[in-house]
Structure 1
Amino acid sequence: MTINITTIGFEPSTIILSPPAQQLVTEANVQIAPPIMGTFADMLLQGILFSQTANFFGFRDTDGSKNRFTWLVILLNALCITKSAQNILICWNMVIANYCNPDVTVLLIAVDWRHYSTGLTTAIIASLVQSFFIYRYWMLTRRRIICGVTMLGVAFSLVAAILVTVYLPRVEHHRIRAWSLVHFIFAIAVDTLITGATALHLYQQRPDMRSTSELIDRLVRMTWQTALPPTLGVVVTAVVLETRPIELTHLAFNIVLSKLYAISLMYTLNTRNEMRSERASSHEASASTGARITVTNIHHNTGRASMSIGGSGTINTNGHAAVHGRHTSATRIVSFITDHPDKLHSPPPLGVHVATPVHRSDSTDVEMDSLEKLPRPNDDSDVDREDWKDKKRIA
């Protein structure tokens, strides 16, 4: 059914608009819709960021790193909340406060600092995250040249964003476009260089041991995964801005860039904490379930030691052990007993322990406490590569 509004007493309104305002109304799908859609996506990503922040503070602090990065997480969340509030305010002014004044709406980006500073707030958050990844690379490699070059790139990118903010109120489109392109190019270069350098360094550090090699592979994958979303976001924003300079479509991508950078940082911290927690839990489980070898008798003449591994057995100087009648292969002999018999009583008291890891045929790693409080191996994977000499551990 068609209703003729003139027959029921209504008359169409006549509004005279300036050419820019008329363009804003007729092309609302590329002038008004992008900031609104970008804000919707920004709020969704803000929820993900809140969840990641809760996970960060929920992890057990195994090495003190949580206290070291707590200020960074708090600052990052404060900046992202401010950015979300800015996006909501922009949408409010465009479609609520000035819904009948398109002439005012089209000028807000040039006269209201809360509107034309949106690119600068994104650049500040991106610079903070990029600086974190440069610091991470510095702690891994201590390479001054790459770190210095990337920090200069971060500085140039931030300066270019500041110049864009300066030229926006002056409506100097050619300079705005030029400095926006400079900002995006430096941002892409920094992300690509620091990600590639970090991944290459980690890959070069891969050892022959399977467990550590898998850990390095996981770190390499995490490096690329965290860098890919924000880098792609910058590339898409730059391409859209260059191909459609008179539209606001690029704002939809620019608005979410800050959250993509923030999520990449939080994902890195949470994955790092997760791997450290898994490693700590694995060591605790190994310590709590591993068998203990107790030396109960030592024969100084033959070099034989009676012991118990959850039972009884013997360790000989030829490097083999017999436990409950089962022959197992020891990775190292109990050299401290044979080399320093004078340190022990004859017969020794019950409960004397020797700091020697023994690898049984059933793949059970056995770790004994130290008689002389000698240092323990840092990792079970180091057992095959170490030896004891004169109460010192040598590789």
Structure 2
Amino acid sequence: MDPRQLARSSVPRSLPEARHLRQDDRFLLVTSIMPKNPAAVAHGPMLIGVTINVLLMGVIVMQAYEYFTSYKRRDDRYLKSLVVFVFCANILNTGFAVADVYLALINHFGDVQYLTVSTWLFVTDPVIVGTVACSVQMFFAWRVQVLTGRWYLGLLTASLALGQLICAMLMAWKCHQYPAWADFVKFTDLIIAWMTTTILVDVTITIILVWYLRRHKTGLEGTDQVVDRLIRLTVQTGMLTSVWALLDLVLFLTQPTDASHLIFQIPMVKMYTNSLMSSLNSRPKPKVFSEVTDNIHSIAKFVNHRTTMQDGTMQFASSLHPEAAAHLERHELGEFQKKTIEAASSGCKGDAKTGWDNAARAI
């Protein structure tokens, strides 16, 4: 509806003298008694969120470029497929968000009725956010299971990730059923469930990984530095997504008259993508592989003091976990322990350095 038509039909009955005002004066009167500019209710925060989204998209592009130039030949096709999927989802998310704001603020400039409802472009946001978040959380759930060797911890985090995805899909369906921004208060409980589950997954993954890594420090400076770096990265990436989702939820609950939470909702998919790409790109690059070998040599010196020989077979002490932590960054965990033991054992009758050189080549 045209704003001036809205003005003719919206003049309050308590102001009969306003009926005699000119059309332009009536329009000014209606806009002055409106609680808030319709564009400012949702599309103002959305514009800020889209701006952050676009800026972070540039960061994601650089991270993806670094990944494919450094790890394309090292990682298996499943991990590369995950990166491609997440990257394409981010492109769609940014494109839909920009198109949504452009249509509202440019093509439908001054169209009050259009500004009061969401569109199908907005409905795609919870779908993409939930899907990407679930994919990244599943990746970290796999890390938890492989690193700790405890399947129930991986199952717990994976189940929570699926719960978050279900809430996101239900949220998208509700947005489709009730497109008016004012109707979003009807499914407040669903939004709380979605954001709470999202935060719970991220915090659970962070706590488990930090707990496990801290338990398996060796006391050696070189290996402990690797473990400390893993802990810092885990906390930074895990807590970033948790705090971001918490801010989204807090704004939604404390600002019911507008959509300020969209400032954090629109770029949320970028937070999870950054978490994944930062984790993958933090691994040692092929050009610094010699430094990794030196660290393995330092581990060998530690292991040599905690081994026993039985029939020419090396029996490793139970504190050899930092190797697995270091190798976890290379995402070849399945055969790591077997290859390391075999390679190191092949040199046990000579010197430890030779055996661990073989282990380094097996990684």
TM-score between both structures, scaled by the size of structure 2: 0.71
Largest Rg, 1 or 2 = 1
The alpha carbon displacement at 1:189 in A equals 0.6
One-letter identity of the residue aligned with 2:203: T
Q: Which residue of 2 aligns with 1:129?
A: 136
Classify 1:103/1:31 alpha carbon distance in 2 versus 1 (closer, same or farther; 3 Å): same
Structure 1 residue 164: Cα displacement: 1.8
Q: Distance in 2 between matches of 1:91 and 1:35?
A: 7
Q: Which has the higher strand share?
A: 1
| The structure with more helix, counted as a fraction of residues | 2
Paired-residue identity, %: 21
In structure 2, the residue matched to 1:163 is 170
Structure 2 CA distance for partners of 1:155 and 1:15, relative to 1, 3 Å: farther
- Distance in 2, Cα, partners of 1:286 & 1:123: 39
- State how 1:125-274 maps to structure 2 within 5 Å: 125-171=132-178, 172-274=183-285
Who is 1:382 aligned against?
303
Report deviation, 1:12.
8.5
Could you say what secondary structure the match of 1:100 adopts? Answer: coil
2:101 is aligned, of 68, 91, 114, to: 91
* 1:204-241 alpha-carbon deviations (Å, 9 max, x no partner): 11123332122111111111011121111100000000
**1:291-324 deviations in Å (ceiling 9; x for gaps):** xxxxxxxxxxxxxxxxxxxxxxxxxxxxxxxxxx
Q: Kindly state the Cα deviation for residue 143 of structure 1 after the two structures are TM-superposed.
A: 1.7
Which residue is 2:290 aligned to?
281
| Structure-2 change in CA distance of 1:394 and 1:116 (3 Å) | closer
Kindly indicate whether the alpha-carbon contact (under 8 Å) linking 1:93 and 1:105 is maintained by their aligned counterparts in 2. Answer: no
In structure 2, distance between residues paired with 1:70 and 1:15: 61
Kindly provide the amino acid, as one letter, of the partner of residue 282 in structure 1. E
Structure 1 residue aligned with 2:10: none
Matches of 1:206 and 1:100 in 2, distance apart? 62
1:235 match: secondary structure: helix
TM-score calculated relative to the size of structure 1 = 0.66
Report the AA paired with residue 46 of structure 1. M
Closer/same/farther in 2, CA of residues 394 and 248 from structure 1, 3 Å limit: closer
Structure 2 SS opposite 1:65: coil
Task: Tell me what 1:34 maps to.
Answer: 45
Q: Which moved further from structure 2: 264-273 or 202-211?
A: 202-211
- Which deviations, in whole Å up to 9, do the C-alpha atoms of 1:17-64 show, x marking residues without a partner? 9x99x85862644432111111111111010111111111222568x3
Q: Which residue in the other structure is 2:88 paired with?
A: 78
Q: CA deviation at 1:168?
A: 2.1
- C-alpha distance in 2 between matches for 1:394 and 1:198: 27
Q: CA RMSD in A?
A: 3.1
Q: Distance in 2 between matches of 1:24 and 1:81?
A: 36
Q: Compare relative contact order (CA 8 Å, sep 6+) and give the higher one, 1 or 2.
A: 2
| 1:386–1:164 Cα change, 3 Å | closer
Rounded to whole Å, the distance in 1 between the matches of 2:175 and 2:310 is: 72
Q: When the two structures are aligned, how many residues end up with a matched partner?
A: 290
Whole-angstrom distance in 2 between the partners of 1:385 and 1:42: 51
Q: How do 1:286-325 and structure 2 match up within 5 A? A: none
